[in-house]
Amino acid sequence: MLLNDVIDQLPNINKCLRKGKTLFIRVDINSPIVNGKIVDDFRIRAHATTLKLASEAGAKAVVLAHQGRPGQDDFTSLEIHKPYIEKYLERPIKFVDDVAGPEARRQIKELREGEILLLENVRLLSEEVIEKVPEAQAETYLVRKLAPLGDYFVFDGFAVAHRSQPSVVGFPMVLPSCMGPVFERELRALSVVFERRGKGVLLIAGGAKISDTLKAVEQLLKSNTAEHVAVGGLVGFVFSVAKYGFVNSALRQEVEKGGYMPYVDKARALLDKYGKQIYTPIDFAVNQNGRMDVDIYSLPQVPLDIGRSTVIQFKELIENSEIVIFSGPMGYIEDERFAAGTIELMRAASKKRLILGGGHTILGAEKAGVLDKAFHVSTGGRAFIQTIGGEEMPAVKALLTSAKKFGL
């Protein structure tokens, strides 16, 4: 079935916007956080539009969202997101330091028409990080406690659409459900990539989420969704070690210390199979008395950016492509010295049909001044790549099931 046909079967948010009705809205405002502060609020800006629609329709909006994962540095309360949401809504919202307990339920019941209540980080509930089939997720504490208080469920969090978690797939099993506008835009952008069937599609993959990126690269090449892949960031470092080996003892120490060895083996397997389609860095920038470019044979430590020669090589790939999917920065863009590779490639890619994927990628686009030039800015990042690579989206299946069950 074509993606456009699937989209047409999903009720959009207009079917759920009813005055006086309570809407549970699952968004994804998971944002890059440095030293306890949000450094990029793109996702919050995007979802503020959805919340505004609900509020102006006179609905009572209850917001479900997460930030980070338990054990990670960015796992925090959503209270720090509240002022950002209020900034883009230009009005106050409510926040409760509870997810599905008595206080959260009390405040949901007391909501008035047009009010918005932000619940605490749903991943404070251990069940939210466990994936099960939708029917099982409908029986979780979160869904059992909250669903009876709601009239509709709106799924707008594309970045978690590939997760079969309670807040994603549980509610559609028990409530009439709709897709939000952010999610709908994501699906329509996906359909454009699918239509290309790989020809002229370049994936530029970076960042530090090595496991997810390796999986995405394999999916896109295996499914012929991308014609070429260029890797940078920590991912590029791993691919370079896989390609050139341990050219000095310092490099081996860095790989072993970072626990990257299993990733190196996986990257080597991908190079063996798709080597002609995967482009790895040929030089890097390291912090040696400031920024210094070195080749792989001279690399003394994990690099902080791709080098100048790699930028030139990747720009040639961009020039010969029609669609560029940019997911993950090429370096440590929080430091201006090591944002150069990302910025230059972003500017070159902005002359093509550029799709930007998620979090730090968006931050890089803002630094490059090309955010408004992109064909599509995905809130999903890895979710976008995994989906075009053929990975199933449990959220879509759950919404389709809900549409048939409740007849919206």
pLDDT at 359: 64
Give which of 204, 211, 207 is closest to 333, Cα–Cα.
207
Would you list which residues are annotated within the binding site? Answer: 28-30, 43, 66-69, 123, 163, 334, 358-361
* pLDDT category of residue 95 using cuts at 50, 70 and 90: very high
Detail the residues annotated as belonging to a binding site for ATP.
Answer: 334, 358-361
Q: Which residues pair with 228 in a beta bridge?
A: 202
Any idea which of 26-35, 118-127, 358-367 has the lowest mean pLDDT? 358-367
User: How many angstroms separate the CA atoms of 48 and 43, rounded?
Assistant: 8
> Does the pTM exceed 0.75?
yes
What b/e string do you get for 369-404 counting C-beta neighbours within 10 Å, with b at 16 or more?
A: ebbeebebbbbbbbbbbbbbbebebbbbbbbebbbe
What DSSP assignment string belongs to 39-89? Answer: S--HHHHHHHHHHHHHHHTT-EEEEE---S-TTSTT---GGGGHHHHHHHH
Mean pLDDT to the nearest integer, 40-58: 94
| Residue count (the chain) | 408
Map tokens 């090595």 to a residue: 210
Pairing verdict, β 94-95 and 152-155: unpaired
Residue closest to 69 by CA, chosen among 8, 22, 121? 121
Q: What are phi and psi of 325, to 5 degrees?
A: -100, 115
Residues making up the binding site for (2R)-3-phosphoglycerate: 43, 123, 163
* DSSP string over 228-283: EEEE-HHHHHHHHHHHH---SHHHHHHHHHHT-HHHHHHHHHHHHHHTTTEE--SE
User: 197-374: what fold?
Assistant: Rossmann fold (3.40.50)
Q: Which two tokens stand for residue 68?
A: 């980070």
Q: Which of 247, 222, 369, 229 is nearest to 298 (CA)?
A: 247
Range with the poorest average pLDDT among 130-134, 263-267, 298-302, 346-350: 298-302
Helices (H) and strands (E) in the chain, counts: 16, 17
Continuous segment of H or E residues that includes residue 193: helix 181-196
Average pLDDT value for residue range 84-92? 97
- For residue 311, what are the CA distances in angstroms to 44, 59, 100, 287, 305? 31, 49, 49, 18, 10
Where does the pLDDT of residue 245 fall: very low under 50, low under 70, confident under 90, or very high at 90 and above? confident
Contacts of 262 (CB under 8 A, 6+ apart): none
The pLDDT of residue 198 is 73
Domains 3-182+392-406 and 197-374 share a fold: yes
Taking 60 as the threshold, does the pLDDT of residue 260 lie above it? yes
- Backbone φ and ψ for 310, nearest 5 degrees, come out as -65, -40
Residue of higher predicted confidence among 245 and 64: 64
Using DSSP's 3-state secondary structure scheme, residue 55 falls into: helix
Alpha-carbon gap, residue 385 to 218, rounded angstroms: 11
Higher pLDDT, 256 or 274: 274
Question: What is the predicted pLDDT for the residue at 256?
Answer: 87
For residue 231, list its beta bridge partners.
205
pLDDT of residue 358: 66
The confidence band for 2, taking pLDDT boundaries of 50, 70 and 90, is: low
Question: First and final CA of the chain: distance in angstroms?
Answer: 21
Locate the domains of the chain by residue range. 3-182+392-406, 197-374
The residue type at 113:
E
- Specify binding-site residues for substrate: 28-30, 43, 66-69, 123, 163
Q: Which residue has the higher pLDDT, 121 or 162?
A: 121
Is the CA virtual torsion 334, 229, 217, 388 positive or negative? positive
The secondary structure element, H or E, covering residue 34 is strand 33-34
CA–CA dist 254, 356 (Å, integer): 30
Angstrom distance (rounded) from CA 268 to CA 149? 51
User: Judging by DSSP bridges, how do beta strands 305-306 and 283-287 pair with one another?
Assistant: antiparallel
pLDDT of amino acid 382: 64
Q: How far apart are CA 171 and CA 399, in angstroms?
A: 9
Class of domain 3-182+392-406: alpha beta
The pLDDT tens digits of the residues spanning 197-239 come to: 778 999 999 988 888 889 889 988 998 889 999 999 999 999 9
d(CA 39, CA 31): 8
For position 96, what pLDDT does the model report?
A: 98
